[in-house]
A and B are shown apart, each in its own frame.
Chain A
Amino acid sequence: MARNFLESQDVCIVAYGETKIDRRTGKTAYELAAEVAEELFARTNLTPGDIDGVSFTVPLSECANPFWSNYCTDYLGITPRWLQTTDIGGASAIGNVARAAMALQNELCETAMLIGADAPSSKWSAVYGSYRNEFWEPTGIQGPPGAFGLLMNRYMAQYELDFAGLGALAVAQRNGAAVNENAYERFRKRIAVDDYLNSREVSTPLRLLDSVMFCDGANGLVMMKTDRARELGFENRVYPFAYSEITNFAGAEQTPDITETGFSVSGPDALAKAGLTPADIAMFHPYDDFLIAVMLKLEQIGFCERGQGSQFLRDTDISPTGALPINTGGGQIGCGQPGLAGGGVNLVEAVRQLMGEAGERQVPDPANALVTGIGVIPYGRNWGTSNAMVLVK
């Protein structure tokens, strides 16, 4: 594997921002991008004229516009010398940290603003091509819950799945949402394992409380070279320290084991680049579209053995003061998923924690965080992109 381009900590994150997550706001992705941009400008004391690098995720609510990134920089009054829109879905957030780091290292820009903004509960403009019209939509498969129902049922044929373990994760994430002011207000109440177990089945064996719900919202970061951050007086810095990404894992195989995911590659690779083992990880902020995705990542990154994920979740204290804090702010299942900006929910919480600004859910002095992203539901497998990033203080 290639060298670790993040090892020298020559680029850093100096600020994070996040809007309240809400349903059917009637806002556009531009309006939500403006909200998070204002927060980022305020936190950094920068103006639109100071930003010369921008990355976006593709919003579900604006993807019919092939010029989203140009329109949005115009909307914000930013004149980037490096501009990138990333379309690896929920993997775009940490994917953009890696891409911005490369742009900064290569001096394509000096000050980068990374924005995820989407409003799919207010506007939906996605139209899928490729196999979807002929071989997916006419089968009546219930989109991502259907795909994860297939994945979950197959896992249950190969391994033992203790639903109480998934329930423990649902409970822990709701505990985070309850103390997270940015979480969707209706989700800010605690639940019990039985609430999870008794929630109705959407696509058996997948339950309602296994799943995210589409909301509106935005999140973002400001990044620059570490030398420049020091000069400008940004003392609270977080460093991307290792990154690994893989798309279309086992994509050419016709009959792969669908319980094996790209995280079996990108997880261990990111940890190896960071010189860390799973035991060294202070907190885990996994992309959580469905609970079982978090569980499979625990297994394949190496926190536990294959087939032991649900037992691990049942038996491990995953609260902010526990052995392995997981998605302390509630994750996307706890907070609501702001469309394809969803990956930023997990990422921003990790940065907030490392900056020591997580309030009553603060993890005591975390040295590092492992953040993951998942992007895109493929045909009859698990997911498209699996990426992992280690962040350090």
Chain B
Amino acid sequence: MNEPAPKPRPVPRPTANTQFFWDAAKRGKLALQYDPDADRYQFWPRAISTATGRRNLEWRETSGRGEVYSYTVTHVPTAGFEERTPYVVGLIELDEKVRIIGNIVGIDPGEVEIGMRVRATFETLTDDIDYFAFEPDDG
């Protein structure tokens, strides 16, 4: 693998559709799209409901709570993660019945387990972007 000059961690560039998500993240909230016609949440954000094919979607701020559906311990860092290697990338099933990929932090990588409860936490990347991660949810 190529390891040229260190690059920074990629920073999201919000789109017209996703701006609400990032505004909510800046307030420390994990927002999800909700389709009132299908009574269903979806993630990642799209400009259409994959259930109904309609653009009738609302944004809802959620508790950010869920459980670990799967995880992987990363030993070969991507840009900006060199200092925290090894680190955990989780596939989290939120209580709203959607899945989201995010780092699992605040726990030794060897202690992470599938099924464990987690909650959203945020780290500041730039003035405009706070990025979500997940930490053990002690209730």
Contacts and interface: CB of A to CB of B under 8 A. Distances in A.
A205 B44 CA distance: 26
B101 A379 contact: yes
Given A140-B9, A140-B78, A254-B41, A206 B72 contact: yes
Contacts of A152: 72
Contact of B72 (A135, A153, A200, A251): A153
A150 B12 contact: no
Contacts of A322: none
A70 interface: no
A364 interface: no
Interface string A106-142: 0000000000000000000000000101111111111
Given A150-B71, A150-B72, A203-B72, A134 B14 contact: yes
A198 interface: no
The secondary structure that dominates the B interface is loop
A124 B75 CA distance: 23
Contacts of A201: 73, 75
A204 B98 contact: no
Contacts, number: 117
B102 interface: yes
A161 interface: no
Contact of B9 (A138, A206, A252, A255): A138
B50 to A, nearest CB: 4
Interface residues of A, number: 35
Interface residues of B, number: 43
Contact of B101 (A133, A141, A157): A141
A252 B40 CA distance: 11
Contact of A134 (B13, B91, B98, B102): B13
A203 B13 CA distance: 27
A146 B72 contact: yes
B36 interface: no
B68 to A, nearest CB: 10
A254 B99 contact: yes
B21 to A, nearest CB: 8
B97 to A, nearest CB: 5
Interface string A135-170: 111111111011001111110010000000000000
A204 B80 contact: no
B114 A154 contact: yes
B107 interface: no
B41 to A, nearest CB: 7
A250 to B, nearest CB: 11
B76 A154 contact: no
Contact of B70 (A140, A154, A252): A154
Contacts of B121: none
B134 to A, nearest CB: 11
Interface string B29-55: 000000000001111100000110000
Interface in B101-122: 101-103, 114-115
A150 B44 contact: no
A197 to B, nearest CB: 16
A255 B95 CA distance: 11
Interface of B: 9-15, 18, 40-44, 50-51, 69-78, 80-81, 86-87, 89, 91, 93, 97-103, 114-115, 125, 131
Interface of A: 131, 133-143, 145-146, 149-154, 157, 200-206, 251-252, 254-255, 258, 379-380
The 3 closest A-B pairs by CB, nearest first: A149-B72, A204-B73, A154-B70
